[in-house]
Chains A and B, each alone.
Chain A
């Protein structure tokens, strides 16, 4: 079994240089860099949240309830006089975590299912995709509620539930792209030189379906953050009084006439995050395509 070992080391080396060229191309795309900067800031803020937040999340100050933005309370206060800025900052932790973990689960389950179903076709395809159809046929929130009812309301379970709900989307997108590649001549060429199925799927099929998956990932991160909001609103996700952007947004809705800042700031936070993911996703998709990359490079040169 020395042969696979040799394969891996070479794969890693080749991969590293490709990773570098990809990174360089992304950095040439201004919008993607902007998205990346926002994301890095968000992650830093989330990590350092307790140090940045001027108040603790549950510091109730009824005397100063529903105050507009001021020098004391940058984002104003809510119906209990809690500092919205502090709550938005602290909530970034949970929201980003939900986004990454649940989409990670969906990717980890959906992409392999789609690759296998699309590549092998036939009965395997039918069985896997009918399973995905069953998941898909149940409305997302209902399915998530069912999963949470079984597992118990908890933020970790909410991530699992959201991940499972988004799995069929990734499976379908991946399978659809694989179907067009399965009979591609270069796949046949790989078979003709004796490449194994695993190698063909990993080295030839997967890199060529990555673009739609990346776009879907950046969209799904946004949806996952919103889904968490919906679940938290129903009392199944983040448990009060802990803050989450979605929760704050839905709670703020009730006070929108008197205190629009209660909804606007968490909303802006969601918007910025989603925008950053999408911008970076677009840049990545272009950078991973060698043809696009040449176009971008030649533009950079002129």
Chain B
């Protein structure tokens, strides 16, 4: 049984919507994340997939407490992250890191890349004196495939892929156990994406890292994740191992997502049946009652608006849908 490194229960992140004017009354909440449960096991990659605005990045930020959660429990290696004092949290940050989507925006334009990579070392007092730090920065730059002699250059002097490598080197500086990768390849050229993915994969093999890999399409996580969690409108709708999810997706939303992935075989591709979802994602300010996917679900029935489906199932394949019983067995037939 693998050991969980990060476990999240009932995570909620609500952003208050305030009225304009001086009173700024609290009128509603944007329920960006509304009850997320997930577990990341040590050494694995959990892919978190969902369309834009479904709360996947917010979930990642909340787990690292870069955004304060409204409710729920976040545990990192047995430590209750939400109850930590500011000081203890800063100390814990040595063990968790984040790689951001836009490598230009995530690097301070006024710092040389050497200083950027050295900063976590300085903050946590690692790698000894100045010479030791210099050596370590050189190692890190080399590790991610950059020339250590370029340490005095500034981020704008590098290409997008190289900048992302700097971001990765910074994340690795403190030898963390856990890294949240927030769409790390989405802002890169297609030709560079594979390089960065391979780099992340190699680093995981070499350093035994645990990743939470956030992406907006299944194709990006397909070759990379051990397990995949699918998110819709602030909730996890399905979690399964990669093989299981691709072979037999259960939730209607997962099925629709998977049907949108092109297959690189013209024969099969021609016969691919695409499930087109009707309508738009409802507003996270006022999500539908019960199952929040029901407004777009082709199988919705009487139970869906009344009762919120729990995320449950057997053998690690969990689904939040009334079409399945608590063991994940389909109880309602196709229409």
Say which residue of B93, B108, B111, B133 sits within 8 Å of A192 (CB atoms).
B93
In the bound complex, residues from chain A placing their C-beta under 8 Å from that of B97 are 192-193
Q: Determine if B130 and A10 form an interchain contact, defined as CB atoms under 8 angstroms apart.
A: yes
- Name the one of A3, A194, A195, A294 contacting B154, with C-beta atoms under 8 angstroms: A294
- Assess the A290–B109 pair: CB atoms within 8 A: yes
User: Is B25 an interface residue, CB under 8 A from the partner?
Assistant: no
Stretch in B47-55, B114-122, B197-205, B240-248 with 4+ CB within 8 Å of A: B114-122
Given B92, B106, B154, B157, which contacts A186 in the complex, CB threshold below 8 Å? B106
B interface footprint on A169-187 (CB within 8 Å = 1, 0 otherwise): 0000000000000001110
Q: Mark A198-233, 1 if CB is under 8 A from B, else 0.
A: 010001100110000000000000000000000000
- Cβ of A189 under 8 Å from chain B: yes
B156 at the interface (CB under 8 A from A): yes
Interface SS of chain A: helix, strand, loop or mixed? helix
Contact residues in A for B257 (Cβ distance below 8 Å)? none
Chain B proximity of A38: nearest CB distance (Å)? 29
Inter-chain contact A193/B109, CB cutoff 8 Å: no
B183-226: CB near A (< 8 Å → 1, else 0) gives 00000000000000000000000000000000000000000000
Which residues of the partner chain A approach B174 to less than 8 Å between Cβ atoms?
A: 193
B174 closest partner in A (C-beta): A193
- Is A6 an interface position by the 8 A CB rule? yes
Q: Which of A245-302 contact B (CB under 8 A)?
A: 288-291, 294
Complex Cα spacing A290 to B106, Å: 16
Is B270 located at the chain interface by the 8 A CB criterion? no
B268 at the interface (CB under 8 A from A): no
The verdict on B170 contacting chain A, using a C-beta distance below 8 Å, is yes
- The B73-94 residues at the A interface (CB cut-off 8 A) are 89-94
> Hey, which chain A residues are within 8 Å of B109, CB to CB?
186, 208, 290-291
Interface size on A, residues (CB 8 A): 30
Q: Is the CB of B93 within 8 A of A291?
A: no
Are B154 and A185 neighbours in the complex by a CB distance under 8 Å? Answer: no
Tell whether, in the assembled complex, residue A193 and residue B108 are in contact, meaning their CB atoms are under 8 Å apart: no
Chain A residues near B27 (CB-CB < 8 A): none
* Cβ of B16 to closest chain A Cβ, rounded Å: 12
Report if B66 contacts A (CB, 8 A): yes
Bound complex: CA A198 to CA B125 (Å): 16
Q: How many chain B residues touch A (Cβ–Cβ < 8 Å)? A: 37
Contact residue among B66, B106, B115 (Cβ-Cβ distance under 8 Å from A14): B115
Contact B90 A3 (CB under 8 A): no
Residues of B within 8 A of A185 (CB): 100, 102, 105-106
| Contact across chains for A192 and B98 when beta carbons are under 8 A apart | yes
Chain B residues near A186 (CB-CB < 8 A):
105-109
A residues within 8 A CB of B92?
194
* Cα–Cα, bound, A199→B111 (Å): 14
Q: Are A196 and B108 in contact (CB under 8 A)?
A: no
- Any B CB within 8 A of the CB of A150: no
CB < 8 Å neighbour of B100 from A13, A189, A194, A294: A189
Q: Which residues of A contact B130 (CB under 8 A)?
A: 9-10, 13
129-151 of chain B: CB within 8 A of chain A? 129-130, 133
Least Cβ–Cβ distance between B155 and chain A, in angstroms:
8
Known: A195-B123, A199-B123. A10 touches B108 (CB 8 A): no
- Which of B97, B110, B119, B154 gathers most chain A CB within 10 Å? B110
Complex Cα distance, B155 from A185, in Å, reads 14
Cβ distance A193 to chain B, nearest Cβ, rounded Å: 4
Question: Complex Cα distance A13/B112, Å?
Answer: 14
Known A-B contacts A190-B119, A193-B97; A208 and B66 likewise in contact (beta carbons under 8 Å): no
CA A207 to CA B173, docked complex, whole Å = 23
Contacts of A196 in B (CB 8 A): 90, 123
B320 CB, nearest partner CB in chain A, Å: 30
Known: A13-B130, A186-B108. A194 touches B66 (CB 8 A): no
Q: Cβ of A189 and Cβ of B106 under 8 Å apart?
A: yes
A191 at the interface (CB under 8 A from B): yes
- B119 vs chain A, min Cβ distance (A): 6
| Cross-chain contact A294 with B105 (CB below 8 angstroms) | no
**B291 proximity list for chain A (CB < 8 A):** none
- Contact A189–B98 (Cβ < 8 Å): yes
Q: A185-B106, A189-B100, A290-B110 are in contact. Are A194 and B120 (CB under 8 A)?
A: yes
Q: What are 23 contact pairs spanning A and B, CB under 8 A? A: A6-B129, A10-B122, A10-B133, A184-B105, A186-B105, A186-B108, A186-B109, A188-B106, A189-B170, A192-B64, A192-B98, A193-B123, A194-B91, A194-B92, A194-B93, A194-B124, A196-B90, A199-B123, A204-B108, A288-B110, A289-B110, A290-B109, A291-B156
Which chain B residues have a beta carbon within 8 Å of chain A's beta carbons?
A: 61, 64, 66, 89-94, 97-98, 100, 102, 105-111, 115, 119-120, 122-125, 129-130, 133, 154, 156-157, 167, 170, 173-174
By Cβ-Cβ distance, the 8 closest A-B pairs, closest first, are A194-B93, A185-B105, A193-B120, A3-B125, A290-B154, A194-B90, A185-B106, A192-B98
**With A10-B133, A193-B174, A290-B154 given, can you name 13 additional A-B contacts, CB distance below 8 Å?**
A2-B125, A3-B125, A14-B115, A186-B106, A186-B109, A188-B61, A188-B66, A189-B98, A190-B108, A193-B93, A194-B93, A208-B108, A294-B154
